[in-house]
Structures are given as C-alpha cells and as structure tokens.
Amino acid sequence: MGKPISLSVNGRAVTVSPDDPDTPLLYVLRNELELRGPRFGCGLGQCGACTVHVDGQAVRSCTTPLSALQPGQKVVTLEGLATSGTPHPLQAAFVEEQAAQCGYCINGMIMQSAALLAQNPKPSRAEILQALAGNLCRCGTHLRIVRAVERASASL
Amino acid sequence: MVAMNLSRRALLKGSALVVGFALSGQGPAHAASATAPSKPVSPEEVDAFLALSRDGFATIYSGKVDLGTGVRTALIQMAAEELDLPLDHVTLVQGDTALTPDQGPTYGSLSIQNGGMQIRLACATARRQILTLAAERLGRKREDLETEAGIVRPKGGGEGVAYGELLKDGRFSLKVDKEAAPKDPGSYTLVGRSVQRLDIPEKIAGRFAYMQDFRLPGMLHGRVVRPPAIGAQLQSVDETSVRDVPGLIRIVREGNFLGIVARTEWAAIKAARQVQARWSEAEELPDQARLWEHVRGTRIVKDDVTMNVGDAVGSLPGEGRILKATYDFAIQTHGSIGPSCAVAMLSEGKLSVWTASQMTHALRKQLAAMMGLPLDDVRCIYIEGSGCYGRNGHEDAAGDAALLARAVGHPVRVQWSRADEHGWDPKGPPTLIDLSARLDGEGNVAAWASEFFIPDGAAGNVPLVAASLAGLPHETNNAPGNIIHNSGVPYAFPNVRTVCHRLAETPLRPSWIRTPGRMQNTFANESFLDELAAAAGVDPLEFRLRSLSDERGITVLRRAAALANWDSRPSPRQQEGEILRGRGLSYVKYELYRTYVAAVAEVEVERRTGAIRVTRFCVAQDCGQIINPDGVRNQIEGNIIQTVSRTLKEEVTFDRSRVTSLDWESYPILTFPEVPEIAIDLIDRPRDKPWGAGEPSAAIVSSAISNAVFDASGARLRSAPFTPDKVKAGLQRT
Ligand code: FES
Ligand code: FES
C-alpha cells in the first residue's frame, strides 16, 4: 500500500492508496473505485474509450497518472454525468437514437461530446465531427453518435 | 422507432423470479463452480432452450451470443412473440456451456437464421404444449383456446389459466417438434418492430458489466509477454528485472509461454513491460514488399472448384474482347476497441472461464485438451465484451488466463494490451485473385474464369496461442473460415469456372473477420464485372440486369439505384478538375443462396493527393423476414462504415519476425470526419425465412468504391486498401 491520495470523483471525496503514484487514473477508477464508465481501449491515448472529465475537460484517463492530478481537481465519469437521477441530455439522446452497437466506445463518445456541448452548446455538424475525430469506434456507429449529439444539442 | 412499453402488463402478483434452473444470468453470483445444476442442453429438447417460472417469466437459453449486434434483443423478440409473453417477461442466458445448447459459434450471420429459428421452434413447441395442458385443465378443446400475454383463455371469453400454473417445476420434458407450427406472421406484435435495444440504457449509463468488468473475489491480474519474433524460443528470464515492482506475485513460464501475475492490474502491466527475457531469433515471415509473389508461390494443396458452368476454359478464346485482371486484398486485424479479456478459475480440478468468446462450446473443448482435463470439468461462460467481428483474441486470452490461474492457484484475469491485440489476434489472410473473361461481339459475357489463391482450411478451432507457445495440445491446421464463399458469381453467364487454389500456409495465423472471403471475393468479382461493363460501353446497372433472372436480386439492384438517383450511362464519366466525382454499383447474393444486397457508392477523388472520400452509400437489402428493422439498419451502417475503413486504410504490416502495426497510429481506421452518409432501403418479407444481416452488406463495399473511383477518374483500383499512393499510381496510368 502506498501513500493515501484524496480525490473527488463524481462529487464524492475518496481516498486511494496505490502502490505506485504513477498508476494511471483509469485503473484507479476501474479497479479501486469499481467504476464501469471509463474503459480500457489502448492505454496509449489513441482511442478515447477511457475518457473522463477533470474539472470539466475531457481527459484520457489511461495516460493520466494519478500523480498528475492536483488536490481539489474534480473527476467526473460517465456514472457521474446524470444530475440527481436525471440522465444527461446526451445519455437520453443516445438511447433515442439507439446510438450503440457494442457500446464499448460510447463512454468516450458521450464524455467527449459532453465537454464539447458544455463549451459550445450549438456546434455545427463539422464541429461535432472534429471534436470526435480522436475517438475511435470499430462497430461503425458514427452516424448515430453524431445524430445523438445533434439531438442533445437541440434539447439544450 | 417504436419504444415498447416494457411493463405494460403486470400479469400476476408476487413477482419473485423462480426460474426452473436457478443458475442463470451473469456476474459473480454463479461463480461457484465449473459445473452447474443439471439442465438439459441437447438442442433436441425444449427444456434446453427454455424454462418457465411459476409466475410466468421465461428464461431463454441461447448458444448464440450477442457480440454487440443487438441480437439479444432480437432473440427475445422472437421468443416473446412465439410464447405470447410480454417482452419484459423474457430474459436470455447466452453461451454458458453448462446451461445453453451448443448452437454452433456465433458467426456467419446465422444467429437469427439458424439460432433464432431453433429458439422459435422450441417456443412454438412449448406454446402448443401449454395449450394442451390448459385444455386438460380447463376441460376445453385446444382449438377453442388462445394465448395472450402469458395466459391461456377460451376464445369466446371465460376464465383463463396462467402458463406458470400449468407446468411442474417449469419443465416441458418434450422434444422440439419440427412440425410445431410457429405463429402466423400476420399476427405478429413484436417481431418486425423496431423495439429498442435492451442493453443500451445500461451501456450509456456506465452500468453495463462487460467481460472487461468481471471480477471475482481473490482475483489476481495477469498479463502476457509475447515473443519478440514469431517462432522465437524463450531461453531465459531474469527474475530480478521486476523485483522492484510492488504487487508482483509471480512470473509464469511454461515453454515459450511467458506471463506475469500481480495483485493489481498496473503492477502486471509494469512488470510485463519491464521483465527482461532472452529469446532466440526467428525470421519466419516473408518479405512484405513481395507478399503477393509469396502467396502466388505458396504450395497448393488442393483445388476447390466452386462453380462450373458450360466450358469456360474452352470458350475463353474466341471472337470479341478478352480481359484479364489481378486483384488483391491485404491482411487485416479485427481491431475491437476493447482488447481481449478473460477470467479463469481452477478450483478442485475444475476449470471455469468467463469469456467474450463467440464460441464457448468449442473453446471449452480446446481448453480441456490444453489443460488435460475431462470435458465435464470445464465450463465456459459468455460475457459480452467489446464488439467482436470474428475469431479475434478472446479465446486466446481465455487460454492465457487458464494457464496463469493453474500456475498461481488463484482466479486470474488476463487483459490483453493494444499491442497484444494488434500483434497476436489471428488475422484475415491475404487474398489474391486472377480473373479473365471474354466479351462477345454484342458486349455480353461469353466466358468467365477466376482463380483464388487463399489458405486451405475452413471454419473450426483456431489454435490457442497459449497452447502453441507452451507446447500443450493444440490444433495444427489453419482455420481461416469458409472463405471460398462468393467466389462463384450470381450471374447467368453461359460459361463459368471459378476455382479456389487452397494454399498450404499463410504468413500469419489466420481466422475469419466479418464477411470472411465473401468480402474479398465480391470485391474482385464485382469490380471485374464493372471492368467488363466499361469495356462493353454499357451502363453498370443495365450490364448486371442483362445477366440476372433472380427477381429478388433484380429488385435490390433497382431499389438501390432508385435510392441513389442512379444516372444511367457507361463509366467512366469524363471530367476535368481537381476533385473528381463518381458513383459505383455493386451487388451480392450472399453465399449465392441468401440475403441480397445492392449498393451505390458515391466518392470524391482528389487528383493531387490521391485521397478518396466516400461521401454516400445507398443500400438496398432483402434479408427475408426482418425481426427488428432498426437493428438491421444498425448492422448495415456498421458493415458499410467498417468496410469503408478496411477498404481505404487497413493493412497489417510486418517485418520478417513479427507484426509491426501494433497500435492505432500504425493501423489507422476510419475517423468521424471520414464517415459517409448512408441511406438504406429495407425490403421486408415477413412471410419468408429470416436470413442473416450481420455480414452481407460488408461484401459489396470495396467493389462499389472501386467502381465509383473508376467512374470518377478512369483509374481502376485492384489492390485493397486503396491508399493515396495506389490511387495516384492508378491516375497516372489513365
Ligand atoms: S484507452 Fe485511453 S485513449 Fe485508448
Ligand atoms: S459501438 Fe462498438 S466500438 Fe463503438
């Protein structure tokens, strides 16, 4: 057991004690905190499956060592996107558009888009495509994902 | 989109779910042992497929599994329809070798066509038996009764009886009856509707437990360390090299199999990266720059003649024009976004493996052989993983986990890295195709002859990497899938001979990736056909229709053309400018007996860079009876986008020792800005058999693009992927 580190995850204060302070945030979230939103896809920052928000910014948790987080920074995962039980507009829109096949990439798609909409609630289609250009989907769900982001944007 | 109200009807009070055979579902609850309570699993038995609880819930046991396609929802629709139960009264257990019948691997677009139809028949048998039992109970004739929402009642009204009250212990003890008449499609209320997928709400909320999320108490984390060269021998391991990794439990070495087990996942990753091992050198792979010479020079073990009509060889020489061309399609990887993962537990000599394998029943046999265990002592339990498009690395990860679990005496979870997945999953093999044809004086195809150079073997078990490396029992033959399909042509030419030269070996361990063989073969056939149409100066649609008598085929072609506003003229289009635009047509009758697809691709070719942009795909598909239209659309969209990616971008690279495309930078796939628009026209035939939809529309993509690029630019692309360099070279030749 290493030195305890305090974090704010989905609005809760948590303390973890990884053996190695350079453990990527992804493994802490998934294995210590048993969260299922952030997913392991490449560990290289190339696919986006592991995306979480740190202080509202979309961040790749697979390449973010725990030690890089500053005290007081707020981590939000897919599980924490809903507010008091109401799904985030993007989550509702993804269901409406049936925007998943396997769904493994969807965490990244929603987290990346949520950060986009927070900054730019009415993005053009080109802006959505650009914002998601670094997020990979192998099932070919892209068109539905884009429609879901547009639907969510329209509801904002 | 129809959002079904899942709980529109509460049937009976008291809702404890008492399933006849209690162990079901997923999660640690059933982690207990390799064996489950005895339950029939023979596909002859109704009870193999179905259990009814006293309060009217049905559990369906399916050997076919949801690989991310939505087939779980579709199978539940089929079962609920046939049983006359509300959707939310039906659950599905998938791919658990102790509980589900062996319905064969989940591949080949057969989950509905075969698996679903078996379930439909079992449910039809069950419903008939329910009616018989109710007739006895109510003292009425069976014909006078009807079923609705889990209750049997007299047609004219009167007191009914709930299904659950009719069966002792939920069992039917009945053989599936081929004569049991399924419901009249005219009375369907669930099949044929776009019911929302049951898994999506959980997936978008981060609640869905994928294989990668499965955990057991006391579970350790494993990682594999693969040889730096295929065929290298492990000479020594320096244990001190990882001494400083906190949480390391053990370095496991068995022959050339090397693995790490640690308390945490990060420790396993660090140790796997850090461990120093000495391997012998090996250079077993051919020079990639001369891959096609290598393929052409590989020993042929047999010839499969897949179509032989008239005398193609004799009638190839003759009046008119003779055309010849060679096509090739690169080696590709599956590229699931989540790399393979498995958990294994060996307890009291019994092995339990949780896996996202598409073929748990076959994997069970492989693991039993590798571990030297009786089959009865091995249980494989399916848990959905990241999208699976064929035999990827899941079975191998299961083999890795089993070896590591045996070595350390604890449950072990193995998660492959991205490099493990790209480097060591089995690959779609290289495909080389020679074609020749003669056009007669009227511009009709007088003779068609083709030769396919493809590895020998069929579908079957792909040898487990762990077993091969550790020198434990494993298969030695190749299993590339049924890649000879669609080497024949769906057109009524007078003289045709298509032959597959089956090769003794292929550079990397082969397996099937979505639409195996059918995609590559259709690429060559439909592109070459387009070459003939152009040589004859005939519109590509008209050229196809000339040789087609199959009404369903003609219909999809006409409907795709209508959807795309097909502009009837021969290719290529003459145009100037920097951006060249074109459209291309393609058609397939899947495996020459089922699902029909036609599509029009629209492309832009940038003359200067050689970049292709696929702007739109218009697809018409007839897969018989449609279970869930939105599900079918989702599959078609997936096929088109994935295959545009494979056609434009994807190629596994390797040096003489190993795969070198080990991440998404060296093996890029299509990204959001590059995705085409897709328009779909579904032709539903509710009174026909349902056919597969998971693969067929992938078959037409490469040829439609090749034909569109030709139309745009006059450059004929015969080598996939269509990289900018190849396009530029093609443009220079025009
Ligand atoms: S898993 Fe983090 S970017 Fe791929
Ligand atoms: S839905 Fe499967 S990877 Fe995107």
Structure tokens at B394: 């899941």
At B377 the three-state DSSP class reads helix
Say how many Å lie between the CA of residue B440 and the centre of ligand 1: 57
Say how many Å lie between the CA of residue B69 and the centre of ligand 2: 10
In this complex, is the C-beta atom of B219 within 8 Å of any C-beta atom belonging to chain A? no
B701/A124 Cα distance (integer angstroms): 29
CB atoms within 10 A of CB B207: 13
**Site from A1, A66, A112, A138 to mutate, B interface, most B CB atoms within 10 angstroms:** A138
CB contact at 8 A, B71 and B94: no
Measuring CA to CA, which residue among A103, A144, A94, A49 is closest to residue B70? A103
What's the helix, strand, coil split of chain A in %, to 5?
40, 15, 45
Answer whether A105 contacts ligand 2 (Cβ < 6 A).
yes
Domains, chain B, with CATH or none: 22-198 (3.30.365.10), 212-281+334-424 (3.30.365.10), 514-733 (3.30.365.10)
* pTM recorded for the entire structure: 0.95
The full length of chain A comes to: 156
Say how many Å lie between the CA of residue A99 and the centre of ligand 1: 20
The reply to whether ipTM tops 0.90 is yes
Q: Do A138 and B669 touch (CB under 8 A)?
A: yes
Q: Which ligand is nearest to the CA of A24?
A: 1
**Which H helix or E strand runs over B152?**
strand B151-154
Structure tokens at B113: 């066509």
At B301 the three-state DSSP class reads strand
CB contact at 8 A, B73 and A103: no
Please state the separation of Cα B52 from the chain's center in Å: 31
**Which H helix or E strand runs over B222?**
strand B220-224
CB contact at 8 A, B317 and B448: no
Measuring CA to CA, which residue among B518, B361, B502 is closest to residue B428? B518
Q: Which ligand is nearest to the CA of A62?
A: 1
CB atoms within 10 A of CB A140: 26
- Which class is A5-80 in CATH? alpha beta
CA dihedral of B650, B653, B659, B665, whole degrees rounded to 10: -60
Structure tokens at B146: 């009807």
Answer whether A104 contacts ligand 2 (Cβ < 6 A).
yes
Structure tokens at B519: 């995609």
pLDDT at A155: 95
The full length of chain B comes to: 734
> To test the ligand 2 pocket, which listed residue (A47, A50, A105) has its Cβ within 8 A of the most ligand atoms?
A105
B33-45 pLDDT, tens per residue?
555 667 899 999 9
Measuring CA to CA, which residue among B686, B694, B688, B692 is closest to residue B189? B686
Which of A48 and A82 is assigned the larger pLDDT? A48
CB atoms within 10 A of CB B721: 18
Q: Do A78 and B205 touch (CB under 8 A)?
A: yes
Measuring CA to CA, which residue among B184, B36, B67, B62 is closest to residue B119? B62
Say how many Å lie between the CA of residue A85 and the centre of ligand 1: 28
In this complex, is the C-beta atom of B664 within 8 Å of any C-beta atom belonging to chain A? yes
Answer whether A46 contacts ligand 1 (Cβ < 6 A).
yes
Chain A residue numbers touching B417 (CB-CB < 8 A): 43
Size of interface A-B (CB pairs under 8 A): 183
Residues of chain B with pLDDT under 70: 1-37
Chain A residue numbers touching B198 (CB-CB < 8 A): none
At B673 the three-state DSSP class reads helix
Q: Do A44 and B664 touch (CB under 8 A)?
A: yes
Q: Percent of chain A at pLDDT above 90? A: 90
Domain ranges of chain A: 5-80, 89-155
In this complex, is the C-beta atom of A27 within 8 Å of any C-beta atom belonging to chain B? yes
Q: Which ligand is nearest to the CA of A134?
A: 1
Taking only residues 350 to 389 of chain B, the set having a beta carbon closer than 8 angstroms to any beta carbon of chain A reads 384-389
At A58 the three-state DSSP class reads strand
Name beta bridge partners: B680. B619
Structure tokens at B398: 């299961």
Q: Do B203 and A129 touch (CB under 8 A)?
A: no
Alpha helices in B108-191 (DSSP H): 117-138
B444/B319 Cα distance (integer angstroms): 12
Tell the CATH superfamily of the A89-155 domain.
Answer: [2Fe-2S]-binding domain (1.10.150.120)
Q: Which residues contact B407 (CB under 8 A, 6 or more apart)?
A: B250, B252, B254, B259, B261
Query: Which string of b and e fits B513-539 if b means at least 16 CB within 10 Å?
Result: bbbbbbbbbbbbbbbbbbbbbbbbebb
Peptide bond into B668 cis (omega under 30): no
Nearest to A95 among B200, B335, B630 (CB): B200
Q: Which residues contact B7 (CB under 8 A, 6 or more apart)?
A: B86, B88
Residue B364: what residue type? R
In this complex, is the C-beta atom of B199 within 8 Å of any C-beta atom belonging to chain A? yes
**Site from A101, A124, A151 to mutate, B interface, most B CB atoms within 10 angstroms:** A101
In this complex, is the C-beta atom of A106 within 8 Å of any C-beta atom belonging to chain B? yes
Answer whether A45 contacts ligand 1 (Cβ < 6 A).
yes
Say how many Å lie between the CA of residue A110 and the centre of ligand 2: 12
Chain B residue numbers touching A132 (CB-CB < 8 A): 672
Residue B541 per-residue DSSP state: H
CB contact at 8 A, B258 and B220: no
B426/B421 Cα distance (integer angstroms): 9
At B419 the three-state DSSP class reads helix
